[in-house]
Structure 1
Amino acid sequence: MVIELETRIAEVTVYGDRALVKRQGSLSLEAGEHELRINYLPPFLKDSLRASGRGPAGTRLLGVEATTAFLARPPEQELLRLQTACDLLGRKIQLLQTRQQALEQRRRWVQALGEQAPALIQGLTQGRLQPGDYQHFFAALLEQMLQDAEASQDVAVQLDQLQKEWQAKKRELEQKRLHSDPDRLAVLVTVELPRAGELILELSYLIEGAAWRPSYDARLSFSGHDGAKGDVGQESSVDLACIGLVEQHTGEDWNEVALALSTARPAQATVLPELEPWYLDTFQPVLSPRALTRRSPQLPAVPGQWQPQVMLAAPLSALPEPAPTVEGQVNEEALASEEAVESSAEIEQRATALVYRCGRSVNIPSDGSPHRTLIAQYQLPCRLEVVAIPALEEVAHLRATVENSSGGLLLKGKANIFVDQEYVGTTEIDLTAPGQTFRLFLGLDDSVRIRRELVERTVEQGSRLQGNLRRITYAYRITVENFARGERRIIIMDRAPVSRHERIKVRIVSLLPEPQERSKLEQLTWQFTLPAGGKQQIEERFVVEHPRDFRVSGLP
């Protein structure tokens, strides 16, 4: 006799494109051999199925098998709930439509009574009706028309709202049906107990349709200041919240599960490919079908002689052998009195992957939407500086250089930046090891004013210059002013022209002050600290020489 076993999801480990799901169930069994059936499982990777558990000493697992159950519709409770809600809204809509029809019929009846006014006037003239009867009749008629009009308007508003709710529920239901396969898997487990007792069975399997990605919330906090952006210091700290965005549409909800997020890639855990020789040969063009048709009289009579040339265009690489199936695998020690070694211990290879375990149970529905799960929170030291490239834009950017002092690896992901509880923007954090730094741009700093202006442009040409050359002298001045109440660490980046032609000569005359960094392509960087109310000027002077008949591109 087959015994149905109810199981629940106890733990989920999410990878980049799939998840490892662990289910648990328990029941009391008599001594002997029993066949257990776990129904309504979503389509998982059958080769990844594992079974383990605990039972009386000597309990043996005789076989594990996965079969397909073909169903008319998905058995999820969420679909049933949505369908019930749609049906309830549909009945309410029908009741309102019926009431609207009744009001319309009464409006027509009242309108028909109003059309009897000539007969009433004739009865009044003939003395059959008194003037008071005529007045009461039309007053009651008017009151009924006003009540019906008001009721009809209320019904129309309610009907419109219910129809919108019904359409929204219908779209949600169709979306879930679209991502839900009605067929399910069932697992048959055969166990043998030497004596009666309680059996705790655990199933684990890999399932697609689940993924996670790291995300961050970076909030800037100022140390030693009142929190105003205009009073930022050079040293501060960033509150970094590491968040895992988990989404899944596996076909079943994860309710109150222990969640773990792993960077392992089980799909890529294959054997090392075989390295083949690297051949060089003369180029042989691949003929088009039309050219082959024109040359068909000269083709060999055996078609197989042409097949190697076609195969050379797309060589096949060595493929690893598929992993052996575990269906029907016997694991006699898995159901012993001690806790069996779980298969997840093999997947969690900390030497090559990171695993983040959530400290509480979480709920993640199967809706395909990203759900935030807090991984960790750090307070990281940072150095604040104002960075500007006045040749491109005369604005000052506030930048934070953050040191990863958390002791852990920060994965690559998007970061939402908040300054003084205000959302600034989004940036990307690259993979950052402990001790390394990353940068966050915190918006514009209006308290620092930057100007770059051309103060000199002198052209010399004619007979005074040898070789009929044209010489142009340029002078630029960059002015930086700090209007904040505190000092600023300033970084100014600029550039001088670089010649790409042998007859165009560029000579740097002076750079005042000397830049701290100067590359071979004349990319210049100045770094200095500007006190409150301070002012700093940078002057650049260079000369460009070229023949008079040259048209030089890139000059102002």
Structure 2
Amino acid sequence: MSTRIHLPIVKVTVLEDRALVERRGDVVLPAGPQRLCVEGLSPLAVDRSLQAQLTGGTVSQARVSRAWKEKPREDAREQKTELRRRVEDLETELKRAQADAQRLQSRLEVVNVAREDVLRAIAELSGVGRAKPESWHEQLETVRKESASTEESLRRARKHVEATWKRLVEARAVLAQSEQTEQQLVTTAELDTNLPQGGTASLRVTYLVPCAVWRPAYRATLAPVDNGEAVTLECEAVVWQRTEEEWKDVELLFSTARPTLGASPPRLMEDWLQLRDKSEQEKHSVEVSIREEVLQTTGEGGASPSDSMPGLDDGGEAQTLRASHRVTVPSDGAPHRVPLFQFTAPATSELIGHPEHSPLVHRVARFDNRGPAVLLAGPVDLVRSSGYVGRAQLKFTGLGEKLKLGFGSEDTLRIARLVDSKQDTQRITGKRTRTHQVKLFLSNTGTRAEKVVLEERMPVSELEAVEVKLLQEQTKPAPAKVSEDGIVRFELGAPPRSQQELAFAYSVVSSSKVAGL
């Protein structure tokens, strides 16, 4: 004989594509072995993930049991369907019509008895010479009229009973097809426990369920402060769940762990390396190719593997974040936002333009991650003092690491870009020189002067046979910085209602042996 109990959900850890549900509560058990059935589990509970712990006792066996049971009907009239109410009304009407027909049938029988009494009286009185023709004629006429009226009413009542019965049969047939018995899958956890001393003990049950997922989301607000600017970053977890059980007032944790991700050592394969002599053509030529390369870093300007891979990017180390308060998440499959933490950090912003990609100039803010945890990759809503300005993608950022976010473009600033290239080849040595000239036109249509940063790029050579250099004489104004990765930075002042021109040039010099450029 098993004892049925209900344990509330007190804690849920949401993983990348599933959730770990924990039920916990106090139970009163007698001394010795006892079988418990914990009701209310999700039908999606993973059988092999079920675990149970009993304080002061042992759990020798734990398994998930499922059974189909008829869902109880709602007896309250206000919760019944319109079709069921119509059937009940027809049943009531049929009973009333049958009662009316029965009443008329009894009345007709009384009238027939009265007719027989009148006819018997006529026969008896006529035999003794006490005939009363006028009185008998009046009595027979009264009985005849009453009998005809009652028969007509009875005929109509029986017709009404027949019509009501026909309507009731049709309604019952439709009800039987539309409101079939609904079955529900009842899932329980059967536990074989043993509490030697008996009494009150704490029981804890955990299991995994699919159909639950979460992703990080952010809201960044750039606002002026007394000594400059500051960014307030709010971190939230967006959670979806359709596990057929409601997480009501639970402690919610969010983890990037992947417990089902299989790991196995790679298979070792033979890899033979062979040497050969270069051909005459290879001795006199150097194969060169131009490639685009993305810098793989985190934080400011970093690229992330999540650009091409779905799921969570946690930087390679599992992270666990905790909700700031208890949360209720219904099983409706809709997104629910749960606050995690927020922080405010001083920021420095500037107007940056990348003419090669866009004619717009954007406001970019840089600040440090001063939050209590790392920032996982996810979408971020951008807000300025004027309101919502757009949405961007925040990359994985460690604690204390600097990151940057763009807060929309400035409508009064525009950039135009013209590119020209030419190539010269020396006849004697065969040396080739390719010159790239870029002209930029910066326009400020506003009434306020702005400081604008323009960034262009030039190739970076990895071979001695190819030389790339910036042409200082043809680059005006002089760049403020040239990075090792070939990013050329120009810092300009844009007066109001103005347009200015910027020239940028570099050359690529290669010997006659170089092929591929």
Q: Which residue of 1 aligns with 2:25?
A: 25
Q: Which residue of 2 aligns with 1:204?
A: 206
Q: Which amino acid aligns with 1:370?
A: P
Q: Which residue of 2 aligns with 1:276?
A: 267
Gaps of 5+ in 2: 89-177, 274-315, 425-429, 510-517
Once residues 86 and 491 of structure 2 are traced to their aligned partners in structure 1, the CA distance between those partners, rounded to angstroms, is 71
Distance 1:206 1:424, change over 3 A: same
| Cα distance, 1:45 vs structure 2 | 2.2
Q: Answer with 426-435 or 382-391: which moved more.
A: 382-391
Q: Secondary structure at the match of 1:360?
A: coil
Of the three residues 402, 405, 426, the one matched with 1:440 is: 405
Residues 444 and 495 in structure 2, CA contact (< 8 A), matched pair in contact too: no
Map 1:55-74; keep pairs closer than 5 Å. Answer: 59-72=56-69
Residues 6 and 40 in structure 2, CA contact (< 8 A), matched pair in contact too: no
Q: Which residue of 2 aligns with 1:265?
A: 258
Residues 482 and 531 in structure 1, CA contact (< 8 A), matched pair in contact too: no
Q: Which residue of 2 aligns with 1:416?
A: 381
| Cα distance, 1:483 vs structure 2 | 4.1
Distance 1:476 1:361, change over 3 A: closer
Q: Which residue of 1 aligns with 2:149?
A: none
Once residues 64 and 240 of structure 1 are traced to their aligned partners in structure 2, the CA distance between those partners, rounded to angstroms, is 48
Residues 53 and 59 in structure 2, CA contact (< 8 A), matched pair in contact too: no
Once residues 389 and 196 of structure 1 are traced to their aligned partners in structure 2, the CA distance between those partners, rounded to angstroms, is 74
Distance 1:449 1:409, change over 3 A: same
| Cα distance, 1:534 vs structure 2 | 8.5
TM-score of the pair, normalised by structure 1: 0.55
- RMSD over aligned Cα atoms: 4.9
Q: Which amino acid aligns with 2:68?
A: L
Kindly, what percent of the aligned residue pairs are identical?
Answer: 26
* Cα deviation 1:272-297 (Å, max 9, x = unaligned): 52443312589xxxxxxxxxxxxxxx
Q: Which amino acid aligns with 1:510?
A: Q
Q: Which residue of 2 aligns with 1:14?
A: 14
Q: Which amino acid aligns with 2:15?
A: Y
Q: Which residue of 1 aligns with 2:439?
A: 476
* Cα deviation 1:53-104 (Å, max 9, x = unaligned): 43xxxx422422214322156x6x9xx99xx999647779999xxxxxxxxx
Residues 10 and 251 in structure 2, CA contact (< 8 A), matched pair in contact too: yes
Q: Secondary structure at the match of 1:368?
A: coil
Q: Answer with 475-484 or 211-220: which moved more.
A: 475-484
Q: Which residue of 2 aligns with 1:35?
A: 35
Q: Which residue of 1 aligns with 2:371?
A: 406
Of the three residues 216, 237, 240, the one matched with 1:244 is: 237
Residues 246 and 370 in structure 1, CA contact (< 8 A), matched pair in contact too: yes
Distance 1:215 1:473, change over 3 A: closer
Distance 1:275 1:212, change over 3 A: same
Q: Which residue of 2 aligns with 1:4?
A: 4
Gaps of 5+ in 1: 96-169, 171-176, 225-232, 283-350, 462-466, 546-556
Q: Which amino acid aligns with 1:251?
A: E
Of the three residues 182, 187, 190, the one matched with 1:188 is: 190
Q: Which amino acid aligns with 2:439?
A: Y
| Cα distance, 1:201 vs structure 2 | 1.4
Q: Which residue of 2 aligns with 1:357?
A: 322
Once residues 61 and 404 of structure 2 are traced to their aligned partners in structure 1, the CA distance between those partners, rounded to angstroms, is 52
Higher relative contact order (CA 8 A, sep 6+): 1
Distance 1:3 1:540, change over 3 A: closer
Once residues 422 and 207 of structure 2 are traced to their aligned partners in structure 1, the CA distance between those partners, rounded to angstroms, is 78
Once residues 424 and 216 of structure 1 are traced to their aligned partners in structure 2, the CA distance between those partners, rounded to angstroms, is 14
Q: Answer with 396-405 or 476-485: which moved more.
A: 476-485
Residues 481 and 490 in structure 2, CA contact (< 8 A), matched pair in contact too: yes
Residues 239 and 378 in structure 1, CA contact (< 8 A), matched pair in contact too: yes
| Cα distance, 1:354 vs structure 2 | 2.3
Of the three residues 417, 425, 433, the one matched with 2:390 is: 425
TM-score of the pair, normalised by structure 2: 0.59
Q: Secondary structure at the match of 1:47?
A: helix
